[in-house]
Amino acid sequence: FSFFGDRGERVGLGSPSAAGAAAAPSAAALSAAMGAMAAKHVNQMAFCPPNPTYRKEDVNMWLDTDRGNRIPAFHIRRGFPLTVLVSHANAEDLGLVLQYWAYMSQQLQVDVFAYEYSGYGHATGSPCEANLYSDARAALKILVDGFGL
C-alpha cells in the first residue's frame, strides 16, 4: 500500500522494513488516513466559498466562535418585534444576500441578523461541517445572550 498526498509525497502509513519494502499499515492508521482524505475532499466538494463580495471595513459586527474562528455578521435593526436569523446558501457570502435581506426586512417587517460561515467572505477558518455548526451557535448566542432576544 502506498498513499500519496496532494504534492505526490508518500503519506506515512507504516515504515520500511529491513528488506526495503513498506510495512503494511495498521488498520487504525489506514482508517485515519482514509478518513482524513475523504473529509478533505468532501469539504472541497460540499463547501464552495466565493471570493468576498463585500469590503471588510463594511462589516458591522464580528463574532468569535467556539472553534476559535472570527466571522462577520450584519444586524439589520429597524425596531420590529421579531428577528430572523439568516444562514445564507452555499456558494455565496453575505455580500450577495445582504441587499435581499434588507429588502425582505421591510417586506416582512422583521429585523434580520445574518452571519458568515468560517472560510467564507472575510471570516477566518476553513469551511467544514463542524465550523458551520459553530458559526450558527455563535450567531444564536449573540442574539440570545447579547441582545436578549
Confidence grade of residue 115 (pLDDT, cut at 50, 70, 90): very high
Q: Strands 70-76, 61-64: parallel, antiparallel or unpaired by DSSP?
A: antiparallel
pTM of the model: 0.70
pLDDT over 60 at 8, yes or no: no
Among 57, 37, 70, smallest CA distance to 142 is for 70
Residues 6+ apart with CB under 8 A from 81: none
> Which amino acid is present at 117?
Y
For the ranges 5-14, 17-26, 32-41, 44-53, the maximum mean pLDDT occurs at 44-53
